[in-house]
Amino acid sequence: MQKEYIAEEFKILQDKITQALESCDAGAKFHEDIWERDAGGGGRSRVIKNGNIIEKGGVQFSAVHGELPEKIKSKLKLDAQDFFATGVSLIMHPENPHVPIIHMNVRYFELSDGSYWFGGGIDLTPIYVDKDQAKDFHLKLKEVCDRHHPDFYNKFKPWADEYFYLPFRNETRGIGGIFFDHLNDSSGMTKEQLFAFVMDVGEIFAPTYCKIMKSNASKLYSKQEKDWQLHRRGRYVEFNLVLDKGTKFGLDTAGRTESILVSMPPEVKWTYQYEVQEGSKEAESLQLLKKGLNWLEPFSA
């Protein structure tokens, strides 16, 4: 399986996702920028804003190549001189506080020495946690994982808990999902089998999220709930700028900054020592931002 084939399939996946989101939102269209990377490769950045449901969102495709920066070689302990990386990544920031933020990423990395790996995942960040939707979301991810390997969900769900965690806040970014990286033939699966899994993860995104969007978008919300949303978006910014490896990789490899930082929400707040009232819906959601929750049988550890 050639890297060019993988990149083309990712482009098709981007098309499917943007078409599905436009249909679901029914109020805005994606604007596309086609860009080139000076050091090699390029991509397609698609951004939607001010829709009926989505306030701002981005679905990015990239396929970049060239000399591996020394910073990356040192960080990943690699000796190869050149790299190729392709993938689709997205983040949606809805206007309604009752519609969760969502992130999805699938990617492929190949080095000039012949080594390769896949990575990716999906995670959901509700402003107000709906336990039934959280369970349904994780069930869908487990179904995808189980189609490819019986151990995937039990491995990738805790990995997401660990990855999407803000240690300086002592809380997870949301209700998690799945996260995986460095999947290659050492897993006991062929490259073709791993790619089938990665594409399946990408394919499940649109129907899963569109269902959540349609279920929650008509819910009324108060000024307090909107204010809470803006503060919770602040946690998203903190994670993406301080901890996210994809953001760091993109910037370290001279990626397109506008496309990398499209993940930032359109509006956000930070308030010093924001007070949450005991017994409130906000307090209830905060109690659920923990590692190790079994969302399939809420809420045993």
Q: Domain locations in the chain?
A: 3-286
State the SS3 of the chain. CCHHHHHHHHHHHHHHHHHHHHHHHCCCCCEEEEEECCCCEEEEEEEEECCCCEEEEEEEEEEEEEECCHHHHHHHCCCCCEEEEEEEEEEEEECCCCCCEEEEEEEEEEECCCCEEEEEEEEEECCCCCHHHHHHHHHHHHHHHHHHCCCHHHHHHHHHHHHCEECCCCEECCCEEEEEEEECHHHCCCHHHHHHHHHHHHHHHHHHHHHHHHHHCCCCCCHHHHHHHHHHHHHHHHHHHHCCHHHHHHHHCCCCHHHHHHHCCCCCCCCCCCCCCCCCHHHHHHCCCCCCCCCCCCCCC
Which of 17-31, 65-79, 209-223, 270-284 comes out lowest in average pLDDT? Answer: 65-79
pLDDT at 39: 86
pLDDT in tens, 135-168: 999 999 999 999 999 999 999 999 999 999 999 9
Catalytic residue among 65, 93, 103, 138: 103
Q: Please, are residues 41 and 63 in contact by the beta-carbon 8 Å criterion?
A: yes
pLDDT score for 294: 95
Q: Does residue 52 contact residue 77 with C-beta atoms inside 8 Å?
A: no
Q: With bands split at pLDDT 50, 70 and 90, how would you rate the model's confidence at 99?
A: very high
Distance in angstroms (rounded) separating the CA atoms of residues 262 and 9 = 23
Q: Are 238 and 265 in contact (CB under 8 A)?
A: no
pLDDT recorded at residue 299: 58
Per the prediction, the chain carries an average pLDDT of 93
Helix axes 191-216, 3-25, angle to 10 degrees: 10
Q: Which amino acid is at 260?
A: I
- Domain 3-286 belongs to what topology? oxygen-dependent coproporphyrinogen oxidase (3.40.1500)
Give yes or no: 148 in active site: no
Residue of higher predicted confidence among 117 and 262: 117
The pLDDT, as a whole number, for residue 231 is 95
At residue 68, the pLDDT reads 80
Task: Considering only CA atoms, give the Rg of the chain.
Answer: 19
Task: Please tell me the predicted confidence (pLDDT) of residue 298.
Answer: 65
Q: What's the chain's length in residues?
A: 301
